[in-house]
């Protein structure tokens, strides 16, 4: 079947809308550009969601909600605050679902920071020194060692920063991309403000928060 603009069916648009939550016109345009390929259209909408998120990133998020998630028969507990721009959006099912998914993800993946920018200088230098020593031990020249270290630091961010981690329910999407998709759908800036994760038997908790001031952000681990 031809997949020109006039032949993108209402059923295709409906399926894509149900899968992504994007507006109908955006779904139709994505399907047209993707020549009717549903999965490619999803990718296009995700990319546009990121673009929408970038445009809205500077907008103030003073509303939102705090959610909890208890995992593993009461052995792990999470509290997370996710902000948006209006109480109306905070009360939508889409926003509530996002907050729940983020809390569940934190319980499973145990991030230490919210964003890359929140990684403390001490944690950054500690990991970098470890990777540099490991790479140098292989006998490779200094310029190669630095490239290895750079690659490992990228992986480090993915392991410890919430927004960089692959979403546990869909490993092809990072938490940042998951949020961006909701930004594209709901039309408001959305940001994770802070979270705390507790595990039975541990002597302390992972507490991470992000603000406009780097001095007030990072991990507290006791």
Digit-by-digit pLDDT tens for the chain (222 residues) are 344 445 888 888 888 877 776 778 888 888 999 998 888 888 888 777 766 667 777 676 789 999 999 987 899 999 999 999 999 999 999 999 999 999 999 999 999 999 999 998 898 889 888 988 988 888 888 888 888 888 888 889 999 999 999 999 999 889 999 998 898 888 889 999 999 999 998 888 899 988 653 333 333 333
Tell me the three state secondary structure of residue 189.
coil
Tokens of 40: 């490619």
C-beta neighbour count of 192 within 10 angstroms: 26
Tokens of 20: 């992504």
Tokens of 53: 């998120």
Residues in the chain: 222
Closest CA to 95 of 61, 124, 128: 61
What's the CA gap between 37 and 217, in Å, rounded?
42
pLDDT digits (tens, 9 = 90+) for 26-41: 888 889 999 988 888 8
| Structural domains present in the chain | 5-56 (1.10.8.10), 63-118+161-221 (3.30.479.20), 121-149 (no CATH)
pLDDT digits (tens, 9 = 90+) for 72-88: 789 999 999 999 999 99
Mean pLDDT score of the chain, rounded to an integer?
Answer: 84
Q: Would residue 100 be called left, alpha or beta, if left means φ above 0 and alpha means ψ between -120 and 50 degrees?
A: alpha
**41 within 8 A of 34, measured Cβ to Cβ:** yes
Tokens of 139: 């006998």
């Amino acid at each position: 079947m031809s997949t020109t603009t006039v032949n993108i069916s209402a059923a295709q648009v409906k399926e894509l809308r149900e899968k992504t939550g994007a507006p109908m016109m955006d779904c139709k345009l994505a399907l047209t550009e993707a020549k009717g390929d549903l999965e490619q259209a999803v990718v296009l909408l995700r990319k546009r969601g990121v673009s929408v998120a970038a445009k809205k990133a500077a907008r103030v998020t003073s509303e939102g909600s705090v959610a909890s998630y208890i995992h593993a028969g009461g052995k792990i507990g999470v509290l997370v605050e996710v902000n948006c721009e209006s109480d109306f959006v905070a009360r939508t099912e889409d926003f509530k679902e996002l907050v729940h998914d983020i809390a569940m993800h934190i319980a499973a993946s145990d991030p230490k920071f919210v964003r890359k920018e929140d990684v403390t200088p001490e944690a950054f230098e500690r990991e970098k020194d470890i990777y540099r020593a490991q790479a140098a031990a292989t006998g490779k020249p200094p310029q190669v060692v630095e490239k290895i270290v750079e690659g490992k630091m990228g992986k480090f961010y993915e392991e410890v920063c919430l927004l960089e981690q692959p979403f546990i329910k869909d490993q092809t999407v990072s938490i940042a991309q998951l949020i961006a998709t909701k930004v594209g759908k709901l039309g408001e800036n959305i940001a994770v403000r802070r979270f705390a994760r507790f595990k039975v038997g541990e002597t302390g908790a992972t507490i991470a928060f992000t603000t406009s001031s780097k001095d007030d952000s990072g991990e507290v681990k006791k």
